[in-house]
Amino acid sequence: MTITLVLLAIIMATVIGWLLRQSLSSEPWNANDPVENEPGRGVLNIDPAKIGLLSFLAVATSLFALFMSAYMMRMNLGDWRPLTEPNLLWANTAVLVLASFAFQLTRNAATREQLSTVKIGLVAGGLFTTLFLLGQLVAWQQLNAAGYYMTSNPANAFFYLLTALHGLHLLGGMWVWGRTTIRVLSGADVRSVRLSVELCTVYWHYLLLVWIGLFGLLLST
């Protein structure tokens, strides 16, 4: 549970720390308290959709961390036979990095309102992601062909489970990506999709990070 505790501690410390800062110097019982009457106090200068996404990332962090903790606890038991990860995963990782990169370019272009770059970037990001997901499926097939079945060892089961979970999160992202791309290609204004593009970018970077963490864990054990 160490990983989970460390990550949750960081999340909780951020949240609680911020909330405490709101309260330390204030005298809420005093209606004339200058601190409480500061204009705009406590409202974060961030779009609600981003707060929603960040909160969701906290949830996802808890989810992935718990799976990783479970992995590490289960690993120490006698019947664990580590599996050899297919080399394809390295290629997949590279493709996912490219996807993240494409989204970053799209985001930058969206801030500068360069419609054509946004179009190219979105399509590229989607393509790389699809490639990654297909690559993961091929990796599954290779493992299966090599006799690493889901039920034959917990190491295999965890491999399938963790990659599937990560893939599902990407698929969820692809849904938002799909809606945004369709809107851009059918001629919507760049400004109207800037927020969606930004949200996608953050989400893809996050999932890249998660993947690197997962891949590292899988490789090192």
Partner 1 sequence: MAYVAIADRDHEIEHHDPTTFITKYVWSQDHKVIAIQYGVTALFVGLIALILSGMMRLQLGFPNSFSFITPIEYYQFITMHGMIMVIFLLTALFLGGFGNYLIPLMIGARDMVFPYMNMVSYWLYLVSVIILLSSFFVTGGPTGAGWTLYPPQAILPGTPGTDWGIVLMLGSLAVFIVAFTMGGLNYVTTILQARARGMTLMRMPLSLWGIFVATILGLLAFPALFVSAVMMTLDKVAGTSFFMPAIMSMGETLSHEGGSPILFQHLFWFFGHPEVYIVALPAFGLVSDLLSTHARRNIFGYRMMVWAILAIGGLSFIVWAHHMYVSGMNPYFGFFFATTTLIIAVPTAIKVYNWVLTLWKGDIHLNTPMLFAIGFIFTFTHGGLTGIFLGNVVVDLPLSDTYFVVAHFHMVMGVSPILVVFGSIYHWYPKITGKMYNETLGKVHFWLTFLGTYAIYLPMHYLGFLGVPRRYFAMGDTEFIPESAFVLNQSITISALFVGVVQLLFLYNIIVSLKKGKPAGPNPWRATTLEWQTPDTPPKHGNWGDNLPVVHRWAYDYSVPGYHEDFIPQNVSPDEAPVTEEHGPDT
List residues near partner 1 by CB under 8 A: 1, 4-5, 8, 11-12, 15-16, 19-20, 22-23, 26-32, 36-37, 40-48, 51-52, 55-56, 58-59, 62-63, 66-67, 70, 73-74, 77-80, 150-151, 154, 157, 161
Residue 193 CA to residue 196 CA, distance in Å, equals: 5
User: Could you tell me what percentage of the chain is helix, strand and coil, using 3-state DSSP and rounding each to the nearest 5?
Assistant: 75, 0, 25
Considering beta carbons, is residue 69 or 142 the nearer one to partner 1? 69
Q: How far is CA 157 from CA 119, 149, 150, in A?
A: 39, 8, 5
> Where is 146: in which H helix or E strand?
none
* 209 Cβ neighbours under 8 A, 6+ residues apart: none
Number of residues in the chain? 221
Q: How far is the CB of 104 from partner 1 (least distance, A)?
A: 21
Q: How far is the CB of 83 from partner 1 (least distance, A)?
A: 14
Tokens found for residue 144: 């299966």
